[in-house]
Chain A
Amino acid sequence: MTEAVPSYLSPTGQEVVFLLLGAVAVGSALLVVTTRQLVHAALWLVVCFGALAGCYLVLTAEFVAWVQVLIYVGAVVVLLLFGIMLTRAPIGRSADLDSGNRLVAALVAVATAAVLVTVVVDGFRTAYAPLKPGAGAARELGASVFATWVLPFEALSVLLLAALIGAIVLSRTDIPGGPPTDESGGD
């Protein structure tokens, strides 16, 4: 794994593509957290997740890439858009999306990034992995999931069911026997 590390000065095509996709992901993530329009944040999130799916593809994790597209771009962003619409968010540009501690937040984020980048670059400078296509295909991953990871997989399905029921219970308003308030069903 650490033998014959190629130079950083002659990046391969895969690395160039990965870095471009990573730049797109980080840039659109920055736009997600800085944009002034709520709906645009969700749409930039789509771009970010799509670029990340491309990153997974370059890293030969095909199945994870397609799952990312299906679940994140397909389901999570749609859920978030539903949430935006249902909370009657202003569609246009709104000024109060950021709280007052933006400077502190930026400071903390920059400090986190600095510490982590320093540690990570120092620790993994010599790590090199030649990419071998097919290692993350659905066949390999499915065999692994259903041979080694069956028990966590089943536990996860129970967790999904619990989350589903929890979401239904939380969002219904006509369930009797809530907290002992005198008003029954505010609106």
Chain B
Amino acid sequence: MHIVYPVVVSVLLFSVGVYGVLARRNTILVLMSVELMLNAVNLNLVAFDVWLRDRLHSGQVLTLFVIVIAAAEVGLGLAIVLALFRNRRTVDIDHLRALAEPDGPAQPPPPSADGAPGASGAASTERGEGAL
């Protein structure tokens, strides 16, 4: 097995994951893209473990660890997404700008540019800032 094949497959998977993280708007889809990137890393680890014929099996053991950490990550991430959905009624990361810096000093509601679910989004944003 030429090592180039698994490594190139892993590179392609990683860049697909990069595209997904950057281009998707739904938070769950972003989580899926993160999983794709983690899987690319796993494929790399397994390929190099096979290539180097490691006696300690570092690559494959590390792959198992990465899988476990990915499971923990997706569990926590989904808990955060659900808490977000409970509070804000949306999981669109484009609308979750409560932690962003305001564009200018004279603009009380920061996400004034996008207005589609503006009523609930802006209201909850104001409530969040009031709580702070």
Query: CA A105 – CA B14 in complex, angstroms?
Result: 13
Query: CA A98 – CA B47 in complex, angstroms?
Result: 33
How many residue pairs bridge A and B at CB < 8 Å? 265
Contacts of A110 in B (CB 8 A): 15
Evaluate contact between A148 and B46: CB separation under 8 angstroms. no
Evaluate contact between A33 and B24: CB separation under 8 angstroms. yes
CB of B98 within 8 Å of the partner chain? no
Given contacts A38-B28, A141-B60, A186-B86, contact A135 B53 (CB under 8 A): yes
CB of B76 within 8 Å of the partner chain? yes
Evaluate contact between B69 and A156: CB separation under 8 angstroms. yes
Evaluate contact between A68 and B22: CB separation under 8 angstroms. no
Interface magnitude class on chain B: 35 or more
17 contacts between A and B (CB under 8 A): A29-B13, A38-B28, A45-B32, A45-B35, A55-B43, A61-B46, A61-B60, A76-B35, A83-B82, A87-B91, A89-B26, A105-B19, A109-B22, A117-B12, A167-B76, A171-B82, A181-B131
CB of A91 within 8 Å of the partner chain? no
Contacts of B35 in A (CB 8 A): 45, 72, 76
In the complex, residue of chain B having the shortest beta-carbon distance to the beta carbon of A44:
B32
Question: For chain A residues 37-85, which have a beta carbon within 8 Å of chain B?
Answer: 38, 41-42, 45, 48-49, 52, 55-56, 58-61, 63-64, 67-68, 71-72, 75-76, 79-80, 82-84
Contacts of B67 in A (CB 8 A): 64, 67-68, 71-72
CB of B80 within 8 Å of the partner chain? yes
